Amino acid sequence: MGKAAWIYAMAQTGVPTAPTICLTRQAWESLKTADVGSPMAAHWVATLFKLVQKGQLPPKLVVRTAAHTHLAGLARVRGAIEAPAKDIDAIDVKKPLGRAIQRAFDSYQVGSPVWADDSGANPKDDQIVIVQAAFDQPVVQMQTRDTNSGLMGPIAPSGDRALPESFTSAAGQELCAAVDRLAGTHMICLAALAGRKVVFLSARPVQAPISAILEAACDRVARGVWTPRQAVGQVDPGRLPQLLHARLKSKKRASPLAVGMGVSPGAASGAIVFTAEDAARYQARGKDCILVSLETGPADIEGMQAANGILTARGGITSHAAVIARVTGKPCVSGVRSLVIDSEKGTVQLGERTLPQGAELTIDGNSGEVFAGALPLMQPNIGGALGKLLDWADGSRTIEVRTNVETIEGAKTALSFGAEGIGLARSEHMFFSAERMVALRRMMFSQDLEDRVEALHGLVEYQANDYAQLFTQMEGRPITVRLFDPPLHEFLPRSQDEVEETAASLGLKISDFERRLERLIEVNPMLGHRGCRLAISHPEILEMQIKALVAGGNAAIQTNDVPVNLEIMVPFVSSSREVSWVRSHILALMEQLGMSPSETFKYSVGTMIELPRAAIRAGEIAKHVDFFSFGTNDLTQTTFGISRDDAPAFLAAYQRKKLYDGDPFVTIDKKGVGELIRTAIRRGRASNPDLKIGICGEHAGDPESLKFFAGLNVDYVSCSPFRIPIARLALAQAAI
């Protein structure tokens, strides 16, 4: 709503309002060229006379613009303007009133934001200048609500003197309440005294932190201004992460060394470290650190969890670093092209600055900025208002919200945010500890079935224990476990130390081991030997996982008396025959282990739709599964033919040239990827009416994408733990 509309709306509510004229640019351009005796000029003069109160002399005038900022010099000419002595003075741009009006319209330069249009568009026809009668008493600015606490005003804006008592009286409170009722957001009002009345002049929105916005929303419900349903609809879900993560107190005196992509929200400071081992050592000593790397991989996960934040030279919004950072709630900045690491010298270059390992660094995962030194941080304060709003949201929401996790800690965090299950448990991520990685590599490098089975036997115990903890933690809520899906290159030894360690564990000479290593290296591992292909080519790996799942489930039931609701998900399928083969082997293994679905141990088999062919052949695939879960990260990659880690190199140029509307890895591409999902759901449910549908990619935490998914009638979405509040609120708004 624009300033002129605020004034009109306030007058309609009966609040004392200053006499006001709203003049459009189109009318002003016509007036400037009109003859003084023309009907239009006469009408303008007559309108100005309406500002004169009965029995009083013509007041001085003030001209207001709807632009956020004024051109230099406007303030000097727009106030305390004498009423035109002649008709011609009312339209002459050289006279005080005409000059002020012209300067006000000139404030609408290209790109200048206007209050009248929230879209950011600036059409000249919508530009309005306001002419008001001036008051003898000083004009006062007052906020309708405190921008820090959300409490009802009137209150002086930050930095201003306390309000005069006349404006904090019942009349001032009534004015603030009326503006708040009408606006439903924090506002700054201009008001003046006319006798004992507080008169409204104009208002504009003012920024407030999300904590204050939530408190204000709950207060409006308590006052009966809004219903809970209305409160849910008025809060921007995209701002909720500000509540859940630390942020910088101020950047006023700090200049960033470099800017990348903010891929996981929050801010963090700490000493520069280059390896996961160093990060773990810093954590053990109780010191803060930032893990700085070209890119991260599975072997870095322990270090990422130990670090306060992550900074990488490569990657984008769905890169390994970004995904793990969001799951663990760590700030992360990726795609910093000016970042150069010199491991030998132990230095990192950011732009023109070189910093040694151990130097303090601050990253802002919201803006993507990187600063030297440890800047002061503001810790999150969730408060009760968020919980209240999300409870109201759950009353309107029909789609279940689950979480994507790798660890027990992640599951605990997700439950605290209201997760209703696990939509994606990445089983391969459970191996990212030193001893487990050695065991996994023994399996990968084994030359024959007997050696591989022996290596796998040791992994069953690890996984069974993890699954038992996960089932216990979730207390019967659904848990979707994705079968082993490692792009093998992520698990191969990187450093010479790792090569020597793995070779020793296998009892091999380094030269023999390196030959085996060469045979495992793939040209394109993201489309290589992974997912269901691994289970089909090495059934013993599938057998290990099923045994671990059953053992973990039974342990949870027997030890902690909790039911198990297991959903086994087959990844990276492209045909119904693949799914059929894997499903039949899973069910046969279950039978061998003496399992059948029961009230205490439920299990089902589904698949991840993440390849275009799987989406197109969904009707055939659906006959062999109980559920679909769309892996939108890989589905976007394979549909566009874009690597999510390499996309930052050209994506910004594509967006600037309007070749893409946005980043398809952030907001779902409705016309391409979205159409594949829509088609797959339609075909899948046509052949299997009981088919459950879920979304488990990073898009499940994006408010705009969630609106789209809600329209597809999915059963659940699954996102990282810290995005669960966003999903709960956005899905409720979609339902409303």
Q: Quick count: other Cβ atoms within 10 Å of Cβ 125? A: 8
Q: What is the chain's alpha carbon radius of gyration, rounded to the nearest angstrom?
A: 32
Is the link from the previous residue into 228 a cis peptide, with omega within 30 of 0? no
218, 696, 699, 719: which one is catalytic? 696
Task: Provide the sign of the torsion angle of the four alpha carbons 557, 543, 298, 479, taken in this order.
Answer: negative
Burial class (CB in 10 A: 0-12, 13-18, 19+), 33: exposed
What is the SS3 assignment for 339? strand
Cα separation, 665 vs 679, whole angstroms: 20
Please tell me what DSSP assigns to residue 402.
Answer: E
Instruction: Find the catalytic residue in 186, 320, 429, 699.
Output: 320
Pairwise CA distance, residues 436 & 449, whole Å: 20
514-526 burial, b at 16+ Cβ within 10 Å, e below that, comes to: eebbeeeeeeebb
Q: Which token pair is 633?
A: 């990260």
Is 176 noted as a catalytic residue in this protein?
Answer: no
State the residue for tokens 């309002």: 17
Residue recorded with tokens 């590599």: 441
**How would you classify residue 372: left for phi > 0, otherwise alpha for psi between -120 and 50, otherwise beta?**
beta
Dihedral sign for Cα 654, 656, 662, 666, please.
Answer: positive
Neighbours of 142 (CB within 10 A): 25
User: Which parts of 224-271 fold into alpha helices (H)?
Assistant: 228-234, 241-244
Q: Is 186 a catalytic residue?
A: no
Task: Round to whole Å and give the CA distance between 91 and 108.
Answer: 19
Q: Are strands 20-24 and 261-264 parallel, antiparallel or unpaired?
A: unpaired
**Residue 469 gets which letter from DSSP?**
H
Query: What residues act catalytically?
Result: 320, 696
